[in-house]
Amino acid sequence: MRWIDNLLNRVTMYALMTYYLIALAVAGIALAFLNILPYNPWLLIAGIAVLYGSTKILNPLFGRIFKIRPNAESAAITGLILALIVGPAFAWQDLPMFVLIAAVAMLSKYVLVFRRRHLFNPAALAVVISAIIFGTGASWWVGSLPLLPFVVIGGLLFLRKMRWFHLTLSFLIVYIGAGTALYAYQNPGANLVRFASNTLLYSPMLFFSLVMLTEPLTMPSGRKHRMVYGALIAVLIAAIPFITSIPYTLEFSLLLGNLAGWALFGNTRRFLKLVGKIEVAKNSALFEFIPNAQLAYSPGQFLLWSLPHPKADLRGHRRYFSIASSPTENRVSIATKFSEKSSTFKTELKKLPAGSEIMAANLDGDFTLPKNPEQPLVFIAGGIGITPFRSMVKYLLDTKTSRSITLFYSNNSAEEIAFKDLFDQAKQTFGMKTVYTLTDPKSIPANWQGKTGFINAEMIKNEVPDFTRALYYISGPDPMVRAMKKTLLKIGIPRGKIKTDYFPGYV
């Protein structure tokens, strides 16, 4: 399945979600033309075009009105979601109503906000408001059996990229369990297996759990928090119909879940001002920011950074970066490497002037130090993958904490080594051992004192006494992380003692 991961790594989560939704819309239109779906295909095309086009036009318009830089990616996704759950239009005179629904969705991102963060899923909110005011809500026509294979395949690819299976599974398991229990209570002797299967096959529940539930900016950060969030919304959807006759249970439950997630787990969205750029290695720079509010995080975690810019490439306006700074510092920093043909995001970041503002959110990651201070640690880094280890080591130095650490740091050339002064200080302060290795034979200096070649099993065994006791952390390009994990497994390191720094979109 490596080829799938390699393919998924080439696009951002927003691009992947956009392609997924477009594929669903195209499949729906094709099935309508084949009379497999009972809709007028031309009205279906018109409805999709109006909803998608309206969000694309209205989003920058509202951005100018409210003096907020709009995000074209999220507007496109909202428009496509609305196109798949609203309608289809049954007459041409229905189309103006679709414009109003799109307007409500876009407006909610600028009006219903707290600390510059929209509180509700825009598509769900637009459906509920349009149902109340206009008497027109969602049909969820995407939740039909002919479209089910497309929904499942695309959704699983998205979850694989994001590694959010726990969110969707927590929702589905709790929903099916709670819904079946309540159904059995009201219908003694009913066929519960058929009820559970029909819930998945003949309803929009899978689309809801794969698309609506996974909107990053309205769900909480952290694996455990996301599981609670999914389970809570599942309970609401299952229980509300047995308590009240309120319509649009799916959308209403999601909105309640958005509020609960914000109230219970807080908001890690921050607006940060650039205050410094420091070249830390050849073609690599550290960017230092001051956040508009204190951000509590653990060394080794990451954030989703947003930098809207014109003519963005396929990787879009958002990117995940590990936090390079320590919680003990008064700045939040990231480090990245630039190539000759960097993405438009990195190009924009590189030329960002001091004082510019950038948004970051969705604090996440369990690539953090273990609670047991006696646990021996081995850090394995490739290139700018050294970033989370910079955060950890700086934290240990500032808190005067001692750990048994061996760091293996691989680069093509000596000029690419970053944060060497910090690691030298860690050696003097608490005895951290750093093993540098260069992989490009043509770039090895005459006076080089470190290793050469790729990090391998023999190198680890020679440099780490009792290597089987250590807890291993691997951070770097995806192929390097995969290769190192395979190497560690071959020398007998259990999977549970290998942590990899993964975040969506990291290549």
pLDDT of 507 reads 44
pLDDT recorded at residue 297: 95
Q: Is residue 325 part of a domain?
A: yes
Closest CA to 290 of 304, 274, 277, 301: 274
CA distances 460 to 161, 388, 437, 456, Å, are 30, 20, 12, 6
114, pLDDT greater than 60: yes
Work out the percent of the chain whose per-residue pLDDT is above 90: 69
Tell me: do 391 and 354 sit in the same domain: no
504 pLDDT above the threshold of 70: no
Residue 355 — left, alpha, or beta (φ > 0 → left; ψ -120 to 50 → alpha)? left
Q: What is the pLDDT of residues 153-201, one digit of tens each?
A: 999 999 998 889 999 999 999 999 988 888 787 788 778 888 888 888 8
Residue 26 has pLDDT above 90, yes or no: yes
Higher-scoring residue by pLDDT: 459, 502: 459
Peptide bond just before 388 cis, omega within 30 deg: no
Q: How confident is the model at residue 491 (pLDDT cuts 50, 70, 90)?
A: very high
* In a shared domain, residues 223 and 307: no
The pLDDT value recorded for residue 252 is 92
The Cα–Cα gap between 368 and 391 comes to 10
Residues 6+ apart with CB under 8 A from 425: 397
Burial of 132-161, coded b for 16+ CB within 10 Å and e otherwise, reads eeeebbbbbbbbbeebbebbeebbebbbeb
Q: Is the Cα dihedral 67, 131, 57, 351 positive or negative?
A: positive
Q: In this structure, what CATH number is given to the domain that contains residue 454?
A: 3.40.50.80
**Same-domain check for residues 215 and 200:** yes
Tokens of 134: 């206009």
Let me know whether 346 and 382 are in one domain: no
Is residue 137 located within the same domain as residue 45?
A: yes
**Residue 36: helix, strand or coil by DSSP?**
coil
Q: Please identify, among 305, 336, 364, the residue that sits at the C-terminal boundary of a domain.
A: 364
Q: Across residues 135-154, what is the average pLDDT? A: 92
Q: Which residues contact 110 (CB under 8 A, 6 or more apart)?
A: 62, 63, 65, 66, 68, 118
Q: With 50 as the cut, is the pLDDT of residue 506 above it? A: no
Residues 103 and 13 placed together within one structural domain of the fold: yes
Q: Report yes or no on 369 lying in a domain.
A: no
Q: Directed axis angle between helix 41-66 and helix 95-111, to 10°?
A: 30
Domain boundary among 317, 340, 364: 364
- Stronger pLDDT, 6 or 34, i.e. the higher one: 34
Same domain for 356 and 383?
A: no
Give the pLDDT confidence score for residue 343 in this predicted structure. 86
**Residue 502 pLDDT > 70, yes or no?**
no
- Residues 116 and 191 placed together within one structural domain of the fold: yes
Domain of residue 444, residue span: 377-500
pLDDT at residue number 33: 97
Identify which has the larger pLDDT, 185 or 24. Answer: 24
Domain annotation covers residue 507: no
Q: Single out the residue of 161, 256, 178, 262 nearest to residue 219, CA to CA.
A: 262
CA dist., res. 163 & res. 506, Å (int): 12
Answer whether residue 157 is part of any domain. Answer: yes
308 phi and psi, to 5 degrees? -60, 135
CATH number of the domain encompassing residue 294: 2.40.30.10
CB 303 within 8 A of CB 221: no
Same structural domain for residues 143 and 287? no
Looking at per-residue pLDDT, the higher value among 435 and 505 belongs to 435
The string of pLDDT tens digits covering residues 71-98 is 888 899 999 999 999 988 778 888 999 9
Mean per-residue pLDDT, 205-220: 93
Inside any domain, residue 372: no
For residue 505, pLDDT over 80 is answered with: no
Region 226-236 average pLDDT: 96
**Is 370 part of a structural domain of the chain?**
no
Average pLDDT over residues 7-20: 85
Which H helix or E strand runs over 271?
strand 270-281
Q: Is residue 229 part of a domain?
A: yes
DSSP 397-459: HHTT----EEEEEEESSGGG--SHHHHHHHHHHH--EEEEEE--GGG--TT--SEES---HHH
Region 91-120 average pLDDT: 89
Q: Is the pLDDT of residue 1 over 80?
A: no
Residue 356: the pLDDT is 95
CA distance 466 to 474: 18
Q: Which are the contacts of 185, defined by CB distance < 8 A and separation ≥ 6?
A: none
To 10 degrees, the CA torsion angle through 161, 165, 166, 170? 150
Give CA–CA dist 178/100, Å, rounded: 36
How long is the chain?
507
Please compute the mean of the pLDDT values over residues 199-214 and round it to a whole number: 92
Q: How far apart are CA 59 and CA 73, in angstroms?
A: 10
In a domain, 61, yes or no: yes
Residue 37 has pLDDT above 60, yes or no: yes
Mean pLDDT, range 418-424, rounded to an integer: 97
Task: Report the 10 Å Cβ neighbour count for 353.
Answer: 7
Those residues whose C-beta lies under 8 Å from the C-beta of residue 163, and which sit 6 or more positions away, are 502, 504
Q: What's the chain's average pLDDT? A: 91
Residues 234 and 130 in one domain: yes
Total count of domains within the chain:
3
Output the pLDDT for position 244.
78
Residues 449 and 340 in one domain: no
pLDDT at position 43 over 80? yes
- Residue ending a domain, among 232, 247, 265, is 265
The CATH number covering residue 179 comes to 1.10.3430
The mean-pLDDT minimum among 136-140, 181-185, 502-506 falls in 502-506
pLDDT in tens, 257-312: 999 999 998 888 899 999 999 999 999 999 999 999 899 999 999 999 999 888 87
Whether 187 and 277 map to the same domain: the answer is: no
